[in-house]
Amino acid sequence: MTKVAIVGAGISRFGRRTDANMNALAWESVSAALEDAGIEQKDIDFYSVGNVGVWSEENLPAVTVGEYAGLTPKGTMRVEAACATGSAAIKVARDSIASGSAKLAMAVGLEKMYGVPTPTIVELIGRAGNYFWEFENFGLTFPGYYALYASAYMAKYEAKEEDLALVAVKNHYYGSLNPFAQFQKQVSIDEVMTSKYVAHPLKLLDSSPITDGSAAVILADEETARRLTDTPVWIKGQGVASGSANLSKRSDFVSLDASVTAAKAAYSQAGIKNPVEDIDVATVHDCFTIAELMAYEDLGFVGRGKAVQLIRDEQTYKGGKIPVNLDGGLKAKGHPIGATGVGMAVEAVKQLRREAPKSRQADIRHGVALTHNVGGTGHYAYVTLYGLN
């Protein structure tokens, strides 16, 4: 397969962005990515726009973003894979280069969620599983989905609510160091534990927020990448998998099979034998704190039931065995659904280039970063390995 690298990356500030419409918000990251790559709009052969957008002001965001950003009339498409939409947009852009139809492609992730009332957002996200069986019959929303996993995990492995809270404490600490993050304030374990329950045992501070934001990456074939930059970040592997729409068909509620399958595929492509020894830094899908703990195990960072010890021992902090979510994660950086996976890629690029702020820059020894992006509760899973060679 043709080698594909990221040669430019940009991200907007995440949060309540009532100061910009969708197109202007996308331009913040698109313009930054173009500047980072040292190219102009005319150089892009194809661009994908990841956007869930059932609540959006624009129904055709790829078209409006492209026109606003000066990318028209280049080929485009909108991509959707629930909360893994951003990673799906990267896959589409990568495939366009690997197929030989493009030399330079852009993946843009974008979401504006604050334009409608919060209850509407909660309902629309809740429809993302098996609508007629789970939402209509049982009224499940996404906090409810992940509460099922949290309850099962805690019962099987004797984890405590305090262990979940430790994830929030870590990610808010790193969010406080990230000027692009939605929440730039540390929280204590007591603050997490006394926050209101959303769906027992998950509390408000166990949950990622509603977010507006955008991110963009520019991908290139090998010849173009080496011409444009001395520090290309190669896509070494990308595993993709899916899970059952209906949760009652899942084998258990302590793991996401799609994450396991996607990780195995990505590791095989990238030649990763031992994730903890071979990967310098990871950004995982922590839409709820339980999701990060399950990711530690699904990605092979630690054995089954051992994730709580990893967070208790602070081994997923900078300087630990496997630093995780040094940008604050979805929990503190924010979760603008269509932009989340692309934002993860931007973080991977910055970490590998050693361009993250010193306070949250991982020790890059092997030149490998991982991103793990889940849609729904394992309805989609994308695991991507980025590397310096």
CA distance readout (Å), 141 to 29, 128, 136, 189: 31, 9, 10, 25
Quick check: is 52 in a domain? yes
**Partners of 47 in the β-ladder:** 76, 106
Quick check: is 154 in a domain? no
Quick check: is 371 in a domain? no
Please state, for a pLDDT cut of 90, what percent of the chain lies above it. 87
**CA nearest to 165, candidates 326, 14, 289, 9:** 289
pLDDT digits (tens, 9 = 90+) for 311-333: 999 999 999 999 999 999 999 99
Cα(220)–Cα(242) distance, integer angstroms: 27
Cα(348)–Cα(266) distance, integer angstroms: 15
Count of domains forming the chain: 1
And the tokens for 86? Answer: 């951003």
pLDDT at 118: 85
Assess contact for 26 and 60: CB atoms under 8 A.
no
Regarding beta strands 233-242 and 380-387, do their DSSP bridges make them parallel or antiparallel, or are they unpaired? antiparallel
Residue that the structure tokens 């994908």 belong to? 48
Residue 335 appears among annotated catalytic residues: yes
**Partners of 370 in the β-ladder:** 282, 385
Residue 83 appears among annotated catalytic residues: yes
**CA nearest to 110, candidates 207, 239, 208, 10:** 10
Quick check: is 37 in a domain? yes
Quick check: is 74 in a domain? yes
Q: Which domain holds residue 17?
A: 4-116+210-228
Cα(120)–Cα(213) distance, integer angstroms: 19
Quick check: is 292 in a domain? no
Any idea what DSSP says for residue 105? Answer: E
pLDDT digits (tens, 9 = 90+) for 78-124: 999 999 999 999 999 999 999 999 999 999 999 999 988 888 887 78
Q: What angle do CA 101, 106, 110 make, to 5 degrees?
A: 135
Q: Does a cis peptide bond (omega within 30 degrees of 0) precede residue 73? A: yes
pLDDT digits (tens, 9 = 90+) for 161-208: 999 999 999 999 999 999 999 999 999 999 999 999 999 999 999 999
Q: CATH number for the domain including 82?
A: 3.40.47.10
Quick check: is 20 in a domain? yes
Quick check: is 222 in a domain? yes
pLDDT digits (tens, 9 = 90+) for 52-76: 988 888 889 999 999 999 999 999 9
Of the residues 83, 172, 287, 372, only one is catalytic, namely: 83
Of the residues 285, 335, 372, 379, only one is catalytic, namely: 335
pLDDT at 279: 98
Burial label, 204 (beta-carbon count in 10 A; 0-12, 13-18, 19+): middle
**CA nearest to 164, candidates 290, 273, 353:** 290
Alpha helices in 176-306 (DSSP H): 189-194, 222-228, 257-270, 275-278, 289-298
Higher pLDDT residue, 347 or 247? 347
Assess contact for 2 and 222: CB atoms under 8 A.
yes
